[in-house]
């Protein structure tokens, strides 16, 4: 099935710095979802993007879907300690099969 590659695998930032994680595919994606998993927790849905060039914002989080629908990014402005966790991108195909990237683990130093 389609694979999504996520980079970087780990990111360590100072509180207040920005953070970006990228999700890339060699094929066109029908959609992209982003999830956050806190340490020891379960993934929680953040957002879904479906349109070429789509940009959505949630407070300090900005999500983008590339024009070619082969890449996506999640940008966090002015990170806080509550942002720590692993951020996953995923794409869902027919029959409900969602394929996840390996995630980017964010740590924030106070």
Residue ranges binding another protein (CB under 8 A)? 1, 6, 9, 30-31, 33, 35, 41-45, 48, 88, 90, 92-103
> In whole angstroms, what is the distance from residue 45 CA to residue 37 CA?
9
**Residue 51: φ, ψ to 5°:** -100, 145
Q: 98, 101, 96: which is closest to 37 by C-alpha?
A: 101
Q: Return the number of the residue (43 or 66) whose C-beta is nearest another protein.
A: 43
Q: Return the number of the residue (2 or 77) whose C-beta is nearest another protein.
A: 2
> In whole angstroms, what is the distance from residue 49 CA to residue 35 CA?
12
Question: Residue 78 Cβ, how far from another protein at the closest point, in Å?
Answer: 27
Question: Residue 16 Cβ, how far from another protein at the closest point, in Å?
Answer: 27
Q: Return the number of the residue (16 or 88) whose C-beta is nearest another protein.
A: 88
Question: Residue 42 Cβ, how far from another protein at the closest point, in Å?
Answer: 4
> In whole angstroms, what is the distance from residue 28 CA to residue 104 CA?
21
């Amino acid at each position: 099935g389609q694979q999504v590659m996520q980079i970087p695998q780990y990111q360590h930032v100072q509180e207040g710095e920005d953070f970006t994680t990228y999700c890339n595919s060699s094929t066109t994606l029908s959609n992209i979802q982003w999830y956050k998993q806190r340490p020891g927790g379960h993934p929680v849905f953040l957002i879904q993007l479906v349109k070429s060039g789509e940009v959505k914002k949630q407070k300090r989080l900005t999500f983008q879907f590339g024009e070619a629908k082969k890449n996506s990014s999640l940008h966090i402005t002015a990170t806080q300690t509550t942002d720590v966790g692993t951020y996953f991108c995923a794409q869902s195909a027919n029959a409900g099969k969602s394929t996840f990237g390996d995630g980017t683990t964010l740590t924030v130093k106070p």
